[in-house]
Every structure is written in structure tokens, then in C-alpha cells.
Chains A and B, each alone.
Chain A
Amino acid sequence: MKKIFFLASVFATIQGNAVNTSDVLAAPTWTIVVKSSGGFFGYKYVNQDNNNPSGNSSLNCSEPGFRRCKWNATAFVAGENPFTNDDFEKIDELVMMRVNETNSSGTIVYNSYTIKYDYNIAINKLSYKVFSQEEVNRGLINE
């Protein structure tokens, strides 16, 4: 009986450790949008990735072309899909309105999600990340 208890406790410990290790090693789960060196009429490459194991979605748009930099399916934030494509368009609009010559990086809040943006004018690259409140609480926004 003691052996059973011992084995059970060892199993529980291993499981517990496994969960904790997973938490520690888990990649941040923010949703990322990157627009880099687009053209007058749009982008050549528009790639959306919803398959990151961490629950992260990303949208990468680059080089001059004729495609719009937009999500073609619902994106995930921390494994959830709290936004419609319209929401992402509004977020994009808010970010674009916020960036200016004296304010090329910062944060905005949209429906309790925090968006951290940055524009690098030298390479014409705008990127922003969407953080859930829980991610903000975990300090991931400061990484």
C-alpha cells in the first residue's frame, strides 16, 4: 500500500513538475502583426500562421505587391479567438492613427487587450503585438 502511495505521489510530483516546466518554458502567446517594406498598392507576401503550438497567431506582410495586409481567418490571442477580422481592422486603424513622427512606439488598449506597437522608419517596418490581460499581468508585455 505504501508503495502505491509512493508511486502515486511520485507520479503526481512528475505531473506537477511537468505542468510547471511547461509553464516556465511556454513561449509568450501574443499575436503579432508585421508590415515590412510594403508598396504603394500593397504587399507581395501576406502570410498568416495560426499553427504555433503556443496558441499564437501571426501575420507577416512584406515587399511591394498588390495584396492587402489583413487576416484571412480568425486569429488567436493566447489560444483564444476573441476578435473578428473587423476587430483586427479597427486595431490596425487605431495603431496607424497613433503612430506619428514623435510617437513611433507605444501601447493602446482595445476591449481589455493591450496592443504594443513599434514603427521603425529606417526599414519601414510596423509591428504590433496583442496581449491578453493575463499576459500583461505576467509581465510578458515588458519582454
Chain B
Amino acid sequence: MKKVLFIFCLIGTISMSAKVTYVRTRGGLFGYKYVNQTTFNNGDSNVNCSNPGWTWCRITPVNITLPDGGTVVLNENLQSVFDEIITKNITETTHSGKFIYDNKLFVRYSYNVNEDSLVVNIMTLEEAKAEGNNF
């Protein structure tokens, strides 16, 4: 019985972990050629967009489960909100940063101008703390 409970707890923990990372590399003026989203067994998702094309780098909705049992749906609209904040924050002298959204999600971003590569990590506040982020 203890083993069953342990397995249930383990599954519960894994399903709460839903970090999302999206990477945009060398897109074109009108979008990307490759837009691939991978969802792993633990709930994490990676979205990779690259090369010039005609497809926008949009995420297929991902449910991010919060420690209190609530859920945040990371969809196109929320991605647009994040993109807007990131676009305002990244400048010639500031290529990376982080912010907290709605006191629920931690967003970290980094832009490599030589590679024209923007990496965005999204996770719960608890996951961010576990990674050693202070806020």
C-alpha cells in the first residue's frame, strides 16, 4: 500500500512540473519555416522555431499546474503578453532578464544577437525557487 501511495505521489509531483521553453532562432520577416513543439512525459514542453518561413512561432496550449492546484493555460494570448514584455525589455545593452507574471509564473529570457536566438523559459514560482532564482 505504501508503495502504491509512493507511486501516486511521484506521479502527482511529475504532473505538476510543466516548464515551457520556447526558442526562436533566425526567423524570417514573415515567420518561421520550422515550428515544432515537443511535450515530454513529465509535462514539460519545448517549442522550437527556426529558419525563415511563413508560420508564426505559436505555442499549442499547455496547462501549467500550480502548487495550489490551480492551472494557468499558456496559450497564444498569454504568449503574446510575454512576447510584448520581453520585446520591450530587451535592448542593445540588456539581452536577458526575468519577470513574474500575475504572481504565478516566472519567466526568464535571453537573446543572443549573433545567433539571432531568443530563449524563453516559463515555470511556476516554486520551480524557479528550486532552480535557485531569487525574487
B24 surroundings in chain A (CB, below 8 A) = 40
A38 surroundings in chain B (CB, below 8 A) = 29
A40 touches B29 (CB 8 A): no
Number of residues in A with C-beta < 8 Å to the partner? 18
Give CA–CA (A121, B27) in the complex, Å. Answer: 10
B26 surroundings in chain A (CB, below 8 A) = 124
- Range of interface residues on chain B? 10 to 19
Interface of A is mostly: mixed
Give CA–CA (A136, B64) in the complex, Å. Answer: 57
A64 at the interface (CB under 8 A from B): yes
Determine how close the nearest CB of chain A comes to the CB of B28; give it in whole angstroms. 4
A51 at the interface (CB under 8 A from B): no
A124 touches B28 (CB 8 A): yes
Given A40-B24, A44-B113, A64-B113: 6 more A-B contacts, CB < 8 Å: A41-B87, A41-B113, A65-B113, A66-B92, A96-B30, A121-B54
Q: Which residues of B contact A (CB under 8 A)?
A: 24, 26-30, 52-54, 87, 90-92, 111, 113-114, 116, 118
